A and B are shown apart, each in its own frame.
Chain A
Amino acid sequence: MNNNNHLSSSSLTIRLRNLRKWMIALFILVIFIWSMLGLDYQGFQSTSKVVSLSILKGFMHPDWAYVYLPEGEDLLRELLETLVISILGTFVSAILCIPFAFWAAANMSRLRLFPGMGKFTLSVIRVFPEMIVAILFIKAVGPGSFAGVLALGVHSIGMLAKLFSETIEGIDPGPQEALIACGATRLQTIRFAVIPQVIPQFLSYSLYRFEINIRSATTLGLVGAGGIGTPLIFALQVRNWNRVGVILLGIVLLVVVTDFISSRLRRRII
């Protein structure tokens, strides 16, 4: 290797790269200024300080009585409902996404176009924010946890099926070829060569999605799709900060605990 030559050419590329870096920085700055100009700052009202203080006070003294009420509609039951919504939503999407995953996996069909179409469908599903899906389902089946389950179930297909199809694309083709060689049908090949290879990864991704869904499920109630979000938005509207504090605490605990359990399970599966 010619050291001198190497140095001079690399210094040129470094200079070019530096120029590009500054251009990018400038571009980001311009976009940032543009975005800051458009937002109106009515936020800094005189009441903000008082409200912030009362929120802080509310968080310091959570409404512990709300944790368990004998007549129902308490924190524990709402949290349980949130958990159940995300479990069922994940389950629904884990089942619904299997055909989509095989559709989008490039090694499952000989045609080039067919998996491409599947991938495109999945990315369209992915761009739909789940709140919009939730609102549509609320309009269709009425407010409640059912709309939440459907929203999570449909929205999660986009990501889960993409991950699943990538798993299918990454399998060892050996067993599949062996089965085809000894005359297995297509379904048998999938059952005995593909599925055993992908199941651990499927389960792990489903659990991962469950972790995401539990966060979403806490917000679904803000638009009326069941779960802890509904009492939270009511408490926010009447400015019952002690209750807001205890609900937020409950959400954080729920997310931390489910994250912990789910990641332990995932580690065991793989």
Chain B
Amino acid sequence: MKSDTNLADSTPIPSISPSSNYLITNGLGNTKRSKRIATWMLFIVIIVVCSIYIDVTPYQLFVGLPEMGVLLKEMFPPDWSYLPTIWAPMLQTIKIAVAGTILGAIPAIPAALFSANNITPNKWLSLPIRTLLNLVRTVPDLLFAAIFVAVFGIGPFAGMLALLFFSFGIIAKLTYESLEAIDPGPLEAMTAVGANRIQIIVFGVIPQALPAFISYLLYTFEINIRAATVLGFVGAGGIGLLLNQSLGLFRYDRAATIIILTLAVVLIIDYTSTSIRRKLL
């Protein structure tokens, strides 16, 4: 009854908070509550110290937001006459993403097979490959791109290589996890009738893992198409180069056209890929 009246007049909110209820029922509640308060305090202190450290304060946001408004105003109306010029780079962007994803997926298959514990019981083989995959996944795609641009020169090839490495890391990881979750029944049956390793993989493992693999391929492709649109910022080909140029020349109307086209392409590919993935699984 008491909590009912509290709810009605709404002022003494803390008295009916779940933590205080907990306090009554449980003797340990007190320490737990103070621990929770301490955690939140620590968290707030961290945030404040961080914002002072890099000089990011709400005041700056207040000053910066009108600038953002000016920028957006200059972007409209977008320069639609620029559209024919950006078709070719847009296609190149898609090509980079496709080639990078598929070329990354091919080496991912053996890597996944070798790092799945139920297919390769040999720890000395699976552990180094897993470590390599973990290392590859810590490096963001744009960093790969920046490095490959330095090695192979400016152009889409560097971007494709960057996405190749990136896709390899993701697809191999996701695939070996789903490989470890496959039904062991068929594999045991095939071992019992004397199939060799390759036969087991071809007839027992691949049919079970293929839908998941293709789904991961598409998922990585979705990530890669987003990545490919910005690869040009570091000189790795695609539409990003033009976007960077138009922003550098203060042609915000052109930049807006590029951004809108990018969004449209990404949305269409996302939608298609997601609906295919839903059918697959």
Q: Could you tell me which A residues sit within 8 Å of B by CB distance?
A: 24, 28, 31-32, 34-36, 38-45, 48, 51-52, 55, 80-81, 84-85, 87-88, 91, 123-124, 127-129, 131-132, 135-137, 139-141, 145-146, 149-150, 179, 182-185, 188, 191-192, 196, 215-216, 218-219, 222-223, 226, 229, 232-233, 236-237, 239, 244, 248, 251-252, 255-256, 259
Cross-chain contact B8 with A226 (CB below 8 angstroms): no
Residues of B contacting A191 in the complex (Cβ-Cβ under 8 angstroms): 13
Q: A140-B68, A188-B7, A218-B143 are in contact. Are A38 and B95 (CB under 8 A)?
A: yes
Cross-chain contact B56 with A124 (CB below 8 angstroms): no
Cα separation A35 to B262 with both chains bound (whole Å): 18
A-contact 0/1 string along B1-32, CB 8 Å cutoff: 00010011010010011100000000000000
Cross-chain contact B55 with A251 (CB below 8 angstroms): no
Residues of B contacting A45 in the complex (Cβ-Cβ under 8 angstroms): 152-153
Cross-chain contact A132 with B157 (CB below 8 angstroms): no
Residues of A contacting B229 in the complex (Cβ-Cβ under 8 angstroms): 129, 132
Query: B67 → chain A, closest Cβ, in Å?
Result: 4
Residues of B contacting A255 in the complex (Cβ-Cβ under 8 angstroms): 138
Q: A39-B95, A39-B96, A43-B153 are in contact. Are A218 and B140 (CB under 8 A)?
A: yes
Additional A-B contacts beyond A41-B157, A255-B138, A259-B138 (13; CB < 8 A): A42-B152, A43-B161, A48-B151, A84-B54, A88-B54, A91-B47, A127-B226, A131-B240, A140-B70, A146-B56, A182-B4, A236-B149, A236-B150
Cross-chain contact B151 with A52 (CB below 8 angstroms): yes
Cα separation A222 to B236 with both chains bound (whole Å): 13
Residues of A contacting B195 in the complex (Cβ-Cβ under 8 angstroms): none
Cross-chain contact B54 with A226 (CB below 8 angstroms): yes
Q: A129-B226, A132-B243 are in contact. Are A32 and B143 (CB under 8 A)?
A: no
Cross-chain contact B7 with A182 (CB below 8 angstroms): yes
Cross-chain contact B230 with A129 (CB below 8 angstroms): yes
22 example contacts (A-B, Cβ-Cβ < 8 A) are as follows A34-B95, A36-B99, A39-B95, A42-B157, A43-B161, A45-B153, A48-B152, A81-B53, A127-B270, A137-B68, A141-B63, A145-B55, A146-B54, A146-B60, A183-B4, A183-B7, A183-B8, A188-B13, A218-B140, A236-B149, A237-B150, A248-B147
Checking A28, A40, A80, A192 against B102 with a beta-carbon cut-off of 8 angstroms, the contacting residue is: A28
Cross-chain contact A239 with B157 (CB below 8 angstroms): no
Closest 7 CB pairs of A and B: A141-B64, A43-B152, A43-B157, A131-B230, A35-B98, A219-B142, A35-B95
Cross-chain contact B7 with A252 (CB below 8 angstroms): no
Query: B47 → chain A, closest Cβ, in Å?
Result: 5
Residues of B contacting A237 in the complex (Cβ-Cβ under 8 angstroms): 150
Query: B119 → chain A, closest Cβ, in Å?
Result: 22
Residues of B contacting A150 in the complex (Cβ-Cβ under 8 angstroms): 61, 64
Q: A40-B155, A88-B56, A236-B150 are in contact. Are A128 and B18 (CB under 8 A)?
A: no
Q: Counting chain A CB atoms within 10 Å of each CB, which of B17, B56, B60, B157 scores highest?
A: B56
Cross-chain contact B68 with A40 (CB below 8 angstroms): no
Q: 8 Å CB contacts to A: which residues of B140-169?
A: 140-143, 146-147, 149-153, 155-158, 160-161
Cα separation A1 to B270 with both chains bound (whole Å): 42
Closest to B265 in A: A127
Checking A31, A42, A52, A179 against B155 with a beta-carbon cut-off of 8 angstroms, the contacting residue is: A42
A-contact 0/1 string along B126-144, CB 8 Å cutoff: 0000000011001111110
Please tell me if B189 contacts chain A, counting CB pairs below 8 Å: no
Q: 8 Å CB contacts to A: which residues of B197-216?
A: 214
Q: A128-B263, A129-B230, A132-B259 are in contact. Are A222 and B146 (CB under 8 A)?
A: yes
Q: A85-B54, A139-B247, A251-B138 are in contact. Are A192 and B157 (CB under 8 A)?
A: no
Residues of A contacting B38 in the complex (Cβ-Cβ under 8 angstroms): none
Please tell me if B234 contacts chain A, counting CB pairs below 8 Å: yes
Please tell me if B50 contacts chain A, counting CB pairs below 8 Å: yes
Cross-chain contact B147 with A236 (CB below 8 angstroms): yes
Cross-chain contact A252 with B139 (CB below 8 angstroms): yes
Residues of A contacting B237 in the complex (Cβ-Cβ under 8 angstroms): 39
Q: A35-B98, A39-B160, A232-B146 are in contact. Are A192 and B16 (CB under 8 A)?
A: yes
Please tell me if B233 contacts chain A, counting CB pairs below 8 Å: yes
Cα separation A10 to B227 with both chains bound (whole Å): 42
Residues of A contacting B146 in the complex (Cβ-Cβ under 8 angstroms): 222, 232-233, 236
